[in-house]
Amino acid sequence: MTQAHVTDPLGGTVSRTVLPGGLRVITESIPTMRSAAVGVWVQAGSRDEQPRLSGASHFLEHLLFKGTSRRSALDISAQIEAVGGETNAYTAKEYTCYYARVLDEDLPLALDVLSDVITGSLLRDEDVETERGVILEEIAMQHDDPGDEVHDVFASALFGDHPLARDISGTAETVASLGRGDIHRFYREHYTAPHMVVAAAGNLDHATIVAQVEAGFAPALTDRTLSPAPLRHPTEPLPSVDPTTVVVQRDTEQAHLLLGGRGLERRDERRFAFEVLGAVLGGGMSSRLFQRIREEAGLAYSVYSYSAEFAETGLFAVYAGCAPENSHRVLDLSRQVLAEVAEDGIRDDELVRGKGMIKGGLVLGLEDTGSRMSRLGRGELLFGDQLSVDEVLRRIDDVELSDVAELAKEVLDQPFTLAVSGPFDSSDF
């Protein structure tokens, strides 16, 4: 068992323990808070699925809440809600997270419920069939929301045949064909101690949490010789994909536009400059895109940019929702803004404002134990370490105009992929 403790000047005391068997426990003790959050982070997401198993991670996330030998599905939710807490889960492309937020005195209950869900779920045939219907309805609902659907269409076009291109929920066809055996094998392969992190933040004692984790996750710690899994490596080579335009025809009152390309992989040291660039381009009401497209031209209600980072690549995109007749003008202005920044970089005042937005968002997030817990879990699972808040703020402060300019030229001066959803034909673009 290995342990480490670090006191963060802008946070609490961060402690990390690796249990025999490879399960990692990381906590942040903040005695001044009366709430606590705990999450179980599993290195298993949609990119880990074979094509015919697309949606298995998300299906499993649903099933684990359907009951254990100790608790029914109702017990799982009712026990947390009875103390005023909340519990939920979500699936991403590279991980799945199960979490709960409660009063500090109820943290042992939350941890017991989550450990029971992760290690003791029954995965019954009848639950598979019940939840299959729920997930098919969820997929249909996503397709009925073109503002959501366009993001999946964009990722599919950008990453081609790579697993990152697949929808997290899977498709109606793959979900309909998944059997209990498929899902159980996926669970047995990926939900192992070396691939899991338990993160908690709030008014807590690290040693007590470690003891509770070791007891609750005992079924996953049968092989005590294992070590934590290494950081995720690419599952397969990233294909070269020509920029393309994909139009999804929908009889809607609004057009949904997504324009962008590939960005940075998550361990790229330039990611802090990339965050500043994103804030300046489309991170708020003072951003260039918002000002140019909404405030000056009045062409869209919603316009923003965003990025996502993965093990070997990332993406950068501009989203706008507008009246269909304004779509070409919005695209022209978006390309114009991106080209200007790629050519000339950003101004001094924009650099200052972009840094302030990133730093303020980070520090304000420290008011919430759920955000602190997520920062711990993601840092351990995706990066293998914990940068202190002071260190992150320092790295943001160290970003210079030249850093942003070089990055803008690299990321923004590329042929872009375009995804469109609305009342259009392919020939319209």
Residues belonging to the active site: 61
Residue type, 372: R
How far apart CA 296 and CA 250 sit, in angstroms, is 28
- 247 forms beta bridges with 420
CA distance 190 to 187: 5
What SS3 state is found at 321? strand
CA 158 to chain centre: 18
Q: Determine how many CB atoms are found less than 10 A away from the CB of residue 409.
A: 15
Beta bridge partners of 249: 422
In the chain the first and final C-alpha atoms are separated, in Å, by 59
With contact defined as beta carbons under 8 Å apart, do 134 and 66 qualify? Answer: no
**Bridge partners, residue 4, by sequence:** 16
CA-closest candidate to residue 216, choices 121, 115, 118: 115
How many angstroms separate the CA atoms of 408 and 257, rounded? Answer: 21
With beta carbons less than 8 A apart as the criterion, state whether 380 and 197 touch. Answer: yes
For the record, the structure tokens of 377 come out as 């879990």
Cα(179)–Cα(269) distance, integer angstroms: 42
How many Å apart are CA 267 and CA 260, to the nearest integer? 21
Token pair in block for residue 270: 């330039």
Residues 6 or more apart in contact with residue 415 via CB below 8 angstroms: 242, 243, 261
Cβ neighbours of residue 383 closer than 8 Å, sequence gap 6 or more: 231, 266, 267
CB 294 within 8 A of CB 334: no
Residues in contact with 428: Cβ distance below 8 Å, sequence separation at least 6, in sequence order: 247
